[in-house]
Each structure stands twice: as structure tokens, then as C-alpha cells.
Amino acid sequence: MNAYMMHLMAALSEAGGRIWRLADDLLGAPADLTGLWHHLTRLVDSDVGVRGFTYMLILLVIGVGLEWLFWTYALPSRQAIEAAEPETPRRALVLGLQRLGLRFAGLLLFVGSIVAATSGFVWPPGIQDVVVTLTLAILTVRFAGLVSDFFLAPRTPRLRLLRMTPQAAKRASKGVAAVVYVLAAGIFLAELVDHAGAVHLASIIRVAAAVLTAVLLLGAIAAQSRARPRVPRRGRRLPASPLAFMGSCFVLGVLALWLIGADRAAASLIVAAVVVGAEVVLRDMVEALTRSDEEASEDDTVAAVVSGIVLRLMRLLVALVGLGIGAVIWGVPILAMEGGDSMGGRLAGRILGAIALLLITDVIWAAAKAAIDTKLSRLGPMALEGRAGPNARLGTLLPLLRKGFGITLWTLALLSTLSILGIEITPLLAGAGVIGIALGFGAQTLVRDMLSGMFFLIEDVFRVGEYIESGTNIKGTVERITLRSVALRHHNGPLYFVPYGGMGAVRNNSRDWVIEKFNIPLPHTVDIETVRKLVKKVGQKMLEEPELAAVINEPLKCNIYRIEPGLKIFRCKFQSLPGQQFTVRAQAYRRIETALKAAGLGFADNAQKLLVEHQGTNESAPETISTLAGVPPSMLNPGAAAT
């Protein structure tokens, strides 16, 4: 505790000293400004100043001339790019990169020619440093403008990569330019003034640039907060989002840290904010660029998984760049952190290693998940009209593979992360083994279900989309398969979740083919051979229709099945694809009925004829009575004799 108090007191003392130095710089700045003015006046009037100014003018002419010559030949290409109409966001990115490459080539030619030409002059003392500093300032400002124009494209909306209105893009471009100019002045102008000996004035220029940058950022945050739409609720206007307040506090906090001398902390916060902002911008860009209108209508899943993996790769790259810049700011050698003597350095190295491992694991998981999801999206329907599709087995196993791979990968990543952080994982593994044994004894049913399910899947007993019936008389279409159970949708609607261990014998009604049999009753007077040939012709005509021929494996046939009083029972059968037998049977019924009517035949009415003899008279007048089948004659006329 005493050590922490000492560090805190030292930090407060250093902050107080920085404030007093800023006050001294403010008081000494007018004198430095006066001295700098006199120095520049004498330099301009001297031979050294005239020669240095002439050399810089020559360098400027060389740089501008070469860049003008470059644009003489490259300007038509740039105009063609800006006039193009990209069909997709991806095409807009390609065109934007081409335009950025042309403009960056012109900038490199300008800067390179100036730097190369400086070696051909004999510079007065100190003038060459001024030229190099001014060249770097021009390079910084123009490069920032190129990057801003690449993303915002205020004058070419068709090449804009961010989802912004033209007015917002123009305002954002002007704001970025203003911040860059102010920061460039605060860095390079202050460096030139400091090089001239005006130390106090250079410090005030830096402070003024920092304060003005903070004011510009606060103004941008306030403008964004006012421009954000607010949804009224119950007639009242909702309060503004706290993000604006948090952003303002962040800007003021960074400025305060820099003013009190905590330059590294302020720079680290700026880098963290840039990394977060870059992640947000990249997320919107990647989602827009990896999903064109045509692709979105054809395959949403492929676009989604590609977007996920690209976003994770960009996130990993941005995070690594941010960590590298942070290490440079703090002067920490990343490769030597783990073996250093400082406990904080070793801890920081382990934390960075753990973060890198998690990010790499996330990328691997995204790649594997993308490959599996892409394959699933291209498989087509799992079920085709009551039967499993051609890719049902892959559609059944791939989700289980994805889940199992994810559990294994993230478990290994977690254990490796704990090991990197210095946590001994051997006791954890031993404890996990003991707990696993205890769970194995206490959860025998769970183990039985999982093992049974594994063998069911290995032996390909059922797939998603197939209609099955378990030994417990539960039947339905397989909708979902998990590690422990299978979900069956009954044909009446209920959804059953059946554990593998309790399924018993499984009857699969959706494999290969099915034989359907049905009976037709005809009068006992019909000729058997005539009926057989008639039904056979019906079956042949059914095969002539493409829709029915595609689902019929063996044609419709018929033969006598049994003979009952007053009728003959014919049995018909055919072989079709699973799930299609009901459609084929209905068609067969309709066609057989039509064929029988055309042949002058009809279905048997299943009626019985009774002859009733009247007693008590001299005449026997037999009477014919038709009754429904199954009704005994005694119910119609007790004591009558049926023949």
C-alpha cells in the first residue's frame, strides 16, 4: 500500500510540475515569438536565407512538375474510374482502390522527387532539416486526405464505402481535414519552432493544437448527437444517447492526461479508441462488401459466413496493429517481455499472448464454421415430399460435426489460455477426470443415450427428413438430431423428443422403396383374366406420364385375392418411392374406376339376396329381398330360410 501511495504522490507531483511548466511557457511565449520573428527577418535578408528559399522553391517546382506530368497521363484513367457505375459494393471497393492507387502514386512521386532532389544541393546549416520537416508535413496531410476521401468519397458518392448521406460525408470530410491540419501544425510547426530555439512558443503551439483538436472533436460529437433521430414515446422526446456524453468525457480525459504529462497514457487511450472505431467501421464495410444484391437473393448463408470470417481476420489485424503501436508507445519489446525481469512486463506479455491466442482461435472457428455452413447452404432441401433428400446424411452429420468441433476447439483454447497466464492446468485436468468418472456412474442413462446415438449415426439408421417409427411406437419425421435425442414430428403435428437409448428397434419408412397393396371388390360374375388385363393397362398408362413414372419403380399389377359370397376380391400392388405411395394409390383408384365404367363393369355392392317362402297358404310365392352384407336373415324375417 505504501508503494502505491508513493507512486501516486510522485504522479501528482509530476502533474503539478507539468502545470507550472505550461504556465512558464505561456509567459515566455511572447518573448520567443518576438525573437523568432527577428531571426526570420535576418534570415530572409541574408544570403543564406535567399539561397535556402530559392532551393526550396526549386524543389517545389520539381515535385509539382513531376506530379503534373504524371497526372497528364493518368488523369483519363482517374476520370474513367470516377465516372463508372459500380453494380455492387464489391465493385465500388475495387474502383476505390484503383483510384487510391493512382492518387497515392502521384503523392509518392511528389514526395520522392523532393527528397531525392535535396541531395543535389549544398544546403546552409539547418535549412535541410526544415525542408525534410515540411515534406513530412505535406505527406502526412495529403495521405490523411487520400484515406479520408477513399472511405467517405464526398464528391463521388457511387464509390463511397461507408453508409452515409452526401451531406454527412461532406461534413465528415471537412472535419477530418480540419483535425489533420491542426494536428500537423501542432506537430511539425512546433518542431520547426523548437528547432529554431523558441522552446516556450513550441510548447504553447502544441497545447493550442491539442485544445483546438479537442474542441473540434467535441463539436463533431455534439453535431452527431443532434443529427441522430429520436423516437418519441408517449408524446415525450427521449433523452439523447449517453454515448455523446461518454465520448465528450473521453476527449476531455485524454486532453487532461496529456496536459498533466501522462503522454503515454493519453496516447494509449487514443490508440484504443482508434482500434474500436476501426472495428465498427470495418464491420459495416465488410457486411456491405461481402453481400451484393445478387448474392443476397441467391445465397444469404454464404454471404453471412464469408462476412464473418473476413470481419474476424480484419479484427485480428487491427488488434495486432493496435497492440504493436501500444508496445512502441510504452517502449516495451514484445518478444522479450516474457523473459524479462519485470513482473509487470511478464504479466503484460502473457496477457498479450492470451489475447492473440483467443483471436486466432476465433478466426479458426469462423473459418471452420464458414466451411460447414457453406456446405450446408448448398445441400438443398433435406426432405422431398415426405422422404429424405439426396444430401440428408450430410445435413444430419454436419451440424453435429460443427457443434463437436466448436466445443473441442474452445475447450482447448481455454485450457491453453489458462496455461499462458501461468495457471497450472494439470490439477484441473485431473479433477475433470475424477468428475467425469463420477458423472459416468451417476449418469448412465445419459451415456447410454449418447453411445446409442453415436452408433445410430454411424450405421446410418435415419437421417433428417425421414419418417421413422421407434420400438416404443413413437413415429414421425426426423426434424432435428442432437447429441442425446432425436426430434420426431408426428403427422398430426406433435413434436416428440426421443432419447436414443429408449428407441429400441427403429423402422425406417423412407428408405429406397415401398410396396403398396390395396383391394378392389368386384361382382362375382366378372372374368378374372379380363380384370387383370384391364388393371395392367391402367398401370402401363400411368407409366406414360412423366410425373408418375418418376416415382413408380414397378408398375401397377392386379390378381384375384379371394372370393366371398356374391363378390370377388382383387388385390392390386405397385412399388414406388417412399412417401409417394399415397399419391400413386389415389391416381390408381381414379383410373381403375374410369376403366371399369368404360368396360361396363362396376364395383360390387356387397349385397346378399334372400328368398323368403310364405307359409300357411297353398301357394308358394317366393320373394326376393336384398339386404346389406353382414345382416343376418333372421333379423329381417325370423324363421325364414336363406339360400
Quick one: pLDDT at residue 259? 85
Name the pLDDT band for 235 (thresholds 50, 70, 90). very low
The gap from C-alpha 183 to its chain's centroid, in whole angstroms, comes to 37
First-last CA distance in the chain: 117
Contact criterion met (CB below 8 Å) for 471 and 503: yes
Quick one: pLDDT at residue 140? 92
**Taking the domains of the chain in order of start, what are their residue ranges?**
379-508, 514-604, 606-643
Name the pLDDT band for 64 (thresholds 50, 70, 90). very high
Please choose, from the candidates 452, 443, 450, 451, the residue with its C-alpha nearest in 3D space to the C-alpha of residue 504. 452
Contacts of 392 (CB under 8 A, 6+ apart): 382, 383, 463, 464, 465, 466
pLDDT of 402 over the 80 cut? yes
Quick one: pLDDT at residue 507? 87
Mean pLDDT computed over 365-377: 79
Interatomic CA distance for residues 312 and 247, integer angstroms: 26
pLDDT of 640 over the 50 cut? no
Give the distance between the most distant pair of CA atoms in the chain: 165
Q: Are strands 567-576 and 514-523 parallel, antiparallel or unpaired?
A: antiparallel
Going across the sheet that includes 485-489, the strands are 495-499, 485-489, 475-481, 467-469, 507-508
pLDDT of 356 over the 70 cut? yes
Contacts of 437 (CB under 8 A, 6+ apart): none
Quick one: pLDDT at residue 294? 42
Interatomic CA distance for residues 581 and 204, integer angstroms: 90
What's phi and psi for 490, nearest 5 deg? -65, 155
Please choose, from the candidates 174, 161, 141, the residue with its C-alpha nearest in 3D space to the C-alpha of residue 99. 161
Quick one: pLDDT at residue 99? 92
Quick one: pLDDT at residue 467? 87
Per the listing, cell 520537416 goes with: 133
Quick one: pLDDT at residue 641? 40
Across 232-236, 248-252, 268-272, 304-308, least confident range: 232-236
Quick one: pLDDT at residue 108? 93
- Which H helix or E strand runs over 515? strand 514-523
Mean pLDDT computed over 48-56: 83
Quick one: pLDDT at residue 589? 92
pLDDT of 390 over the 60 cut? no
Q: Which three cell numbers stand for residue 363?
A: 478466426
* Averaged pLDDT score across all residues of the chain: 79
Contact criterion met (CB below 8 Å) for 485 and 498: yes
Give 379-508's CATH code, choosing from 2.30.30.60, 2.40.160.50, 2.60.40.1730, 3.30.56.10: 2.30.30.60
pLDDT of 526 over the 50 cut? yes
Per the listing, cell 446409442 goes with: 452
Across 54-68, 292-306, 438-452, 540-554, least confident range: 292-306
Quick one: pLDDT at residue 297? 43
pLDDT tens digit sequence for 118-174: 888 888 777 888 888 889 999 999 999 999 999 888 888 888 888 788 888 888 899
SS (H, E, C) 550-563: CCEEEEEEEEEEEE
29-43, 205-219, 237-251, 621-635 — which one is most confidently predicted on average? Answer: 205-219
Quick one: pLDDT at residue 636? 42
Please choose, from the candidates 87, 82, 84, the residue with its C-alpha nearest in 3D space to the C-alpha of residue 102. 82
Residue 126: which region, alpha, beta or left (left: phi > 0; alpha: psi -120 to 50)? left
pLDDT of 631 over the 50 cut? no
Interatomic CA distance for residues 207 and 494, integer angstroms: 73
105-109, 113-117, 463-467 — which one is most confidently predicted on average? Answer: 105-109
Interatomic CA distance for residues 264 and 317, integer angstroms: 22
The type of residue at 201 is L
pLDDT tens digit sequence for 243-293: 788 888 999 999 888 888 888 888 889 988 988 888 888 877 777 666 554
Interatomic CA distance for residues 260 and 150, integer angstroms: 36
pLDDT of 70 over the 50 cut? yes
Of 318 and 636, more confident:
318
pLDDT of 398 over the 90 cut? no
**Vertex 605, ends 604 and 607: CA angle to 5°?**
120
Interatomic CA distance for residues 572 and 598, integer angstroms: 19
Q: Which three cell numbers stand for residue 287?
A: 457486411
Quick one: pLDDT at residue 262? 83
pLDDT of 68 over the 90 cut? yes
Name the pLDDT band for 393 (thresholds 50, 70, 90). low
Q: Are strands 514-523 and 507-508 parallel, antiparallel or unpaired?
A: unpaired
Asked if the domains 379-508 and 514-604 are classified in one and the same CATH topology, the answer is: no
Quick one: pLDDT at residue 144? 92
Tally helices (H) and strands (E) across the chain.
18, 12
pLDDT of 567 over the 70 cut? yes
Q: Burial, 476: exposed, middle or buried (Cβ in 10 Å; 0-12, 13-18, 19+)? A: buried
Name the pLDDT band for 643 (thresholds 50, 70, 90). very low
pLDDT of 298 over the 60 cut? no
Q: Are strands 514-523 and 552-564 parallel, antiparallel or unpaired?
A: unpaired
Name the pLDDT band for 178 (thresholds 50, 70, 90). very high
Mean pLDDT computed over 530-537: 91
Contact criterion met (CB below 8 Å) for 247 and 221: yes
Per the listing, cell 460435426 goes with: 401
Name the pLDDT band for 365 (thresholds 50, 70, 90). confident
Contact criterion met (CB below 8 Å) for 464 and 382: yes
Contact criterion met (CB below 8 Å) for 640 and 633: yes
**CATH code for residues 514-604:** 3.30.70.100
Cα dihedral: 240, 244, 248, 253 (round 10): 110
**Vertex 547, ends 544 and 552: CA angle to 5°?**
75
Contact criterion met (CB below 8 Å) for 592 and 535: yes
pLDDT of 112 over the 50 cut? yes
Mean pLDDT computed over 529-538: 91
pLDDT of 548 over the 80 cut? yes
Q: How many residues does the chain have?
A: 643
